[in-house]
Amino acid sequence: MLYCHSRGVIHRDLKLENVLFKNNDPDDFTIKVIDFGIAGVGDEKVDAGTYAYMAPECFDKGGAKTNPAIDVWAIGIMFYTMIYGTLPFMGKDEKELIHKITQDNVKFPLNEVPVSKEGKEVLKAMLNKDPTKRIELIEFV
């Protein structure tokens, strides 16, 4: 995603279903991101996507300005889900889900999965409600 972001392309619908392994080789962890159907560039507004993965600012009236923080939030949701086996925000209906995404802080299940303090801090930074304070992607060399 860092490559896309460096070119001004924001996916806007990152979710586990849109991230695939390149092949069946158990030693190859190369992934492919698919479904750029609602990807955006520039200052376009976004209010579409899969609710469970959408950043809180996307639910503001009129949507949110397209920026990398939207994808970082979704990557945080995927990261949390892969670790804990459940989404961090769930509701009985769309209204409750949106309320939890926009109002509730991320909570970590107790004693179920051993996650370091640093791991939890990264998740909190990715799932910061304020997009200007959300962690940014970095290039690993």
Residues with catalytic function: 13
CA-nearest of 6, 2, 12, 1 to 70 is 12
Say whether 9 sits in a helix, a strand or coil: strand
